[in-house]
Amino acid sequence: MRETRNQAIAFADLAESTRLFRELGDAAARDLTEVFYGRVADALPAHGGRLVKTLGDGVMCAFPDADRAALAMSALHAQFAAVRALEQPLRIHSGISFGSVIVEGADMFGTIVNVAAYLAAIARTNQILATQAVADRLTAPVRANARAAYAARLKGDDRESVVHEILWQIDRAEITNLNPAAVGMLPADEGALQFQFGGAMRRLNAFNPRLAFGREAGNDIVVVDDFASRVHAMVELDTMRVKLIDRSANGTYVALDGMPGEARILRGETVLHGSGRISLGRPLSDPRAQPIAFRRDQRALYRV
């Protein structure tokens, strides 16, 4: 059954998750994300919240009002900051929006959900960003911890509004004061990336933030070529950027449409933008190359 309901929606994402997966390996990094999920699930009931779903290195939560969402995210940030793990400290960044959402079973959809995901993605490590609708509904004690951070024109609203930062730190000595005359615009959501190969399409977005390329059957895109490594390369969503990370013996070749030549990435990374082609292990000029085409999806990166 489908219905609409006013909710505060919050996303919390693990900071530097791309680095964690790369340095620790998938199994160890997945163990860390399970710890993250568990701590979030344990913290929500005290604030009337519900874990809607997990999304790779992030979580989506729902609350009946803005106050409880802001207090829950503040408590989570404080909890993770208090853990002094020497090797792999867990830090988060989060976003909160409020408004009418589509409820279908245990899941929720709509513009309000997309906006919260977007704010979580562009927030800095240890930062909580919230829409004007959230700030307007905070009670005075909680509202005292909010300050204007960005001007923005958010999805679903043609008017320019203000995005607020919610300060959760008890000790404010290390917080940089913002110049109210220099509030900047949020970065635009330029759209997701689509990858096409062999008649199949894979989409990279906030809800599917990681794809693997290689010759092993378990990859998202399988290229049968002796020059391709078993797990050759990854593409990963890093806030608003898409990174290609090479893990191969022969390198990954990238050509961007409208740019001359091609670049070879070997045990390194590059940012993909616009559209172009990728080849695993062979230059794109090699007649045996099997190009993977990519292009920006016209839909926004954070559309459900």
Looking at per-residue pLDDT, the higher value among 276 and 18 belongs to 276
Q: How many CA atoms lie within 13 A of 82 on its CB side?
A: 11
* CA–CA distance, 252 with 248 (Å, rounded to integer): 8
Looking at per-residue pLDDT, the higher value among 261 and 186 belongs to 261
Domains and CATH numbers, the chain: 2-185 (3.30.70.1230), 193-296 (2.60.200.20)
| Low-confidence winner among 18-22, 202-206, 221-225, 265-269 (lowest mean pLDDT) | 18-22
**pLDDT reading at 298 higher than 80:** no
| Low-confidence winner among 128-137, 147-156, 242-251, 274-283 (lowest mean pLDDT) | 147-156
* CA–CA distance, 12 with 36 (Å, rounded to integer): 10
Most confident of 80-89, 220-229, 231-240: 220-229
Q: Kindly report the length of the chain.
A: 304
**pLDDT reading at 253 higher than 70:** yes
Quote the pLDDT of residue 208. Answer: 80
289: closest CA among 197, 194, 195, 193? Answer: 197
* CA–CA distance, 274 with 206 (Å, rounded to integer): 18
Mean pLDDT, all residues of the chain? 86
Q: pLDDT band at residue 274, thresholds of 50, 70 and 90?
A: confident
What are the pLDDT digits (tens) for 46-87?
999 999 999 878 899 999 999 999 999 999 999 988 876 545
What are the pLDDT digits (tens) for 10-28?
999 988 766 666 676 767 7
Quote the pLDDT of residue 12. Answer: 95
Looking at per-residue pLDDT, the higher value among 270 and 296 belongs to 270
pTM: 0.69
Quote the pLDDT of residue 220. Answer: 96
Quote the pLDDT of residue 85. Answer: 53
Quote the pLDDT of residue 304. Answer: 41
